[in-house]
Structure 1
Amino acid sequence: MTVLSTADEGKVLMDIEGEEIGVVTHVDTDEQLAYVEPDPSLSEAVIQGLGYGDADEDDIEVPSDTIATVTDTELRVETDL
């Protein structure tokens, strides 16, 4: 099982095919959920990458048990969302 942390905020979420889904805006460490902004604008991506973003109503909730791998720059899900 993957354990998410606030260090994962700003990383790119990739699908099983290697396609970008969006950028992690917030991680709820208690619930082990990553909130992902689908198709962020360039400015949103930069803000998230710097760790200054926040989740909003159009973010996708991604449970940690659907994440197969975590690297320094990305999270990769094991199924299609």
Structure 2
Amino acid sequence: MPEYEFRCEECGPFVQWISMKSITETIICPTCENEANRIYSPPGVILTSCTLRRRVKQSVIPKVVQREKANGQHYGHRHRTNRPWMVGH
């Protein structure tokens, strides 16, 4: 259910959770029980500069990091037995 803003002439603004189907019905103020008018406000859109948008977009791409081999050894799994399906402990 979306949240809508209303303004009562006596009490001021308040927020009410209402289904989209029943938004056309008359809303009653929860405090003084008078009819309230809906407040139409712009959506919460954040406008960013081109530079900031580009930096955020570049940070989404994962960086590929490669490890160096230490002493010529392989970093993968080494089998200590003659059976590769058995994990050596």
TM-score range, shorter chain: under 0.3
Task: Tell me which protein shows more strand as a share of its residues.
Answer: 1
Asked which structure has the greater RCO (Cα within 8 Å, sep 6+), the reply is 1
Q: Provide TM-score, normalisation by structure 2.
A: 0.23
